[in-house]
Amino acid sequence: MLINPTFWKTYFSSPHFTNDMIPDLTGKIAIVTGANGGVGYATTVALAAHGARVFMACRSEVRAKEAMDKIRQEIKRDYPRYRGEVKLDFLELDLGDLTKASQSAQTFLKQGLPLHILINNSGVAFTKDKLSADGIEYMFAVNHLGHFVFTLGLLDRIKKSQPSRIVNVSSWALDDTRHPDGIDFDILTNPSGIATQPDIAHYGRSKLANVLFTKALARRLANEQVYVNSLHPGHVSTNMAQTGRGSFSGNVFARATELFAMTPKDGALTQLYCATSPEIENKDLRGRFFIPFGLESRCNPLAEREDLQEKLWEVSEKLVKEKVKKPTSKK
């Protein structure tokens, strides 16, 4: 990480976007995954404080409700000029189970609401050879596949709600996948193969997948007013940094967090830029990669390979078809 120029660029670049530049979002409906903590929480605060109705897509309703109470108090304290209603809803989402991720999208659709902003923020790291409910390497399953299923389940509604935004949160770690082609597709469901690679390679693979998915989806939506972009939020102080303690890469990550990390509020700015800035539409920014704070940047050259983007899409569709259980019809 410390030799990654993108990491250091985030500390020496002038802010291109600030909280004060978020436009009025009254009438907009947003979903933020992983909204009950860290950067997702800070993102939710900012969206709701500017008038958006935000669905907090999380696994735990109890923790989401606790976060809602804190968000309302924080908005009252930090946004005294905002006099509107703070509109927050809970949406159950388990990204580690593809069937449940698909069902979550359907649950939202049944409400008959538009969807203007989808921020795929949730992520896990350093889960040490863990498999998802579907038998897939856990970081890839949660960080990419769960969001792949969830996003495509919502896509028709997002298209009907255009102009709209889809924001995929990636990371500087996409540079470190320990594979010449970025993703070793053969080991995704192979426990013995998964165990041969360090956590950082699994995490980097999932973060590269976020950008590949972004570019493939943006290409498919080129004729729509749906703007799909990805980003590195910066090195942010969240609970994720502590989950990896015990492994070498996890210890390095946790120590770097102690030394260099920005606050979740600052870490949220780049995804808020992608989700709300008028520049995205005015400049027709699609399939781009951004770093703090709202600056466009190049990332791993592998992310530009269209063949790899399409290979990921093909493999993702195949896994989804195999793993997602069709709902049983009620007699």
DSSP codes of every residue in 275-330: HH-HHHHHTT--S-EEETTTEE----GGGG-HHHHHHHHHHHHHHHHHHPPPPPPP
- Tokens found for residue 285: 């920014």
- DSSP β-ladder status, 295-296 and 289-291: antiparallel
Q: What are phi and psi of 66, to 5 degrees?
A: -60, -40
Q: What are phi and psi of 155, to 5 degrees?
A: -65, -40
Rounded CA separation 164/136 (Å): 31
**Block residue for tokens 């976060």:** 67
Task: Indicate which residues carry an active-site annotation.
Answer: 203
Rounded CA separation 120/316 (Å): 17
